Structure 1
């Protein structure tokens, strides 16, 4: 079976899930979405460690991941822009993921089926451009670009082997919300068909991190955006050797975004909202906004391992494509899903 790779290049972290069909095994990767130009390092050990996180894009060498954080103090600001997918920063993270998978022993990475996501609001206008850029970086691979928010939907529609589950009904109506770092993305699927007019995006967790920075600054804690982003997960910061609990501050910072996501949901899903069988919630910020959304909707379901939900869902879709190819051209639920992108 062909190697399949799903890539969620988030603005705070890159998440990859690969299936090695030859050995029936999975490989999962998580590394910071940090990229800086490579530079000479004086320490031999540091140079050796940096080799595993160095790639070349357009003849220029870049450090990515933990190496970029350590050697360049990258504050994860490079991805906070609408055209990020068209930058060398994005390309470096993509090539870095393929390099890490190869070093982890995943075979045929260069010729794999690779699924990559785009923010829902950019999907229609930029999917062809992104596919062209990534195909130039991995010319032997099969590249498929999909809307971010469909990943969590696929995570429920298929199991780990790419088989249909009973968690999604062929005749059902489903909303999907993926709370990412830069954007929160939406998708609506009715009887297996995505609704073009219901792809949408609003603010993501970077807005919360910036708010948390300001709140902590008022309390004389000066933190970087990267520190604030980490504090959203840990509810703690370090301050001169002491661990400071910031749960209250995180809760206050999250409230405006949770309300924005709720209001945007009403706009995107419109009259379908009350008829949805399930609203699927995922992404790194899902757990923080879930209380606000669940107070309104009893149909809300938080996808397990929500930070990896996009990549996991894309991989399950890829496995369905490669393990049940006879379904692609048929009518019915699977046939509809295979025509989504």
Structure 2
């Protein structure tokens, strides 16, 4: 039995998604990627609820998640730049993750194994720095992977971290080949695994759904409907916005999304067109995956929309970590036999 707690951590620009494994149990957690400076709250009940989402990093206290939205008045997700992990907001979200996991009763948080990711195009230059930044908040062994690798592991491995045989091998014994399109908030990331090999040339990124939210804010403003980036992000999923009451805006959402979808589809074609016919499938993941699914499945009929695509990266990171720790435990047991 594994004794170390494994955490798959996807600190997205829209939401933090976490899957942890400890003592044979899985724990799942998600909260908005919102951060604001903390301040005293006089109402005791409200203050107690806020304390659960308040952390201290670098000598300063921060509200996170819904408390940052409600008390801090935050109306925009963090991290709308490639170097956002260098700021205190990233550290606050990691610290809040650990505090929330502790509140769930997850054991072994004093020395866990954490798997986390970077955008595909930034992996080479960010992986070491990201591990160091995260270790400033939590003492843990770290493994950094390209973000879409989490979605690949979610599909490729079972809950024990063991490769699923028919997704690994063809009937003739050859390794299968898969691509991943992971539609995130700030970036859409691509991955190509050829016969089990990571193909460097396909590790690219382009616009994510944040740009559709920006489009929607402008489209609604022209119709005298007020929206913030945060409410626009929610409206992309629901087709509803509250402005002097609840208003349905499916047509405006479709218009806002179309431009970004076309950019993603163009990049997908550029990255994968030479390989796609000979792949076993294209895996579609990320919080923005549903808005791309119909178009990509029409273009490439072997596209697979992963189950619970928003959590797929965190879940895959955790499965990868479980597999790594299992192999390590087996090797140690064999060495002492």
Kindly state the Cα deviation for residue 196 of structure 1 after the two structures are TM-superposed.
1.6
CA distance in 2, matches of 1:318, 1:274: 31
8 A contact 1:254–1:289 mirrored in 2:
no
1:145 partner SS: strand
2:322 alignment partner in structure 1: 319
Q: Which runs of 4+ in 1 moved over 4 A?
A: none
Query: TM-score, structure 2 length as denominator?
Result: 0.93
Counterpart for residue 146 of structure 1: 145
Indicate the SS of the match to 2:299.
coil
Distance 1:125 1:44 in 2: 46
Please provide the CA RMSD for this pair: 1.5
- Structure-1 separation of matches of 2:166 and 2:68: 40
Distance (whole Å) between structure 2 residues aligned to residue 65 and residue 3 of structure 1:
24
- Structure 1 segment 166-315 matched on structure 2, within 5 A: 166=165, 168-170=167-169, 171-241=175-245, 243-315=246-318
What are the ranges of 5 or more consecutive residues in structure 2 without an aligned counterpart? 170-174, 332-337
CA separation of 1:229 and 1:4: change in aligned 2, threshold 3 A: same
How many correspondences in the alignment? 324
Q: Distance in 2 between the 1:63 and 1:247 partners?
A: 33
- 1:215-267: per-residue Cα shift (whole Å, max 9, x none)? 111221111110000011111112223x2111111111111111111111122
Alpha-carbon separation, structure 1, partners of 2:14 and 2:264: 19
Match of 2:9 among 7, 19, 22: 7
| C-alpha separation in 1, matches of 2:242 and 2:50 | 26
Secondary structure at 1:271's aligned position in 2? coil
1:7-43 superposed Cα distances (whole Å, 9 cap, x missing partner):
111111111011112xx21111111100011112222
Check conservation: 1:35, 1:93, Cα contact below 8 A.
yes
- Report the equivalent of 1:336: none
Query: In terms of mean alpha carbon deviation, does 245-254 or 120-129 score higher?
Result: 245-254
**In the alignment, which residue of structure 1 is the partner of 2:61?**
61
SS of the residue aligned with 1:109? coil
Query: Alignment partner of 1:172: what SS?
Result: coil
Where does the alignment leave 5 or more consecutive residues of structure 1 unmatched? Answer: 329-341
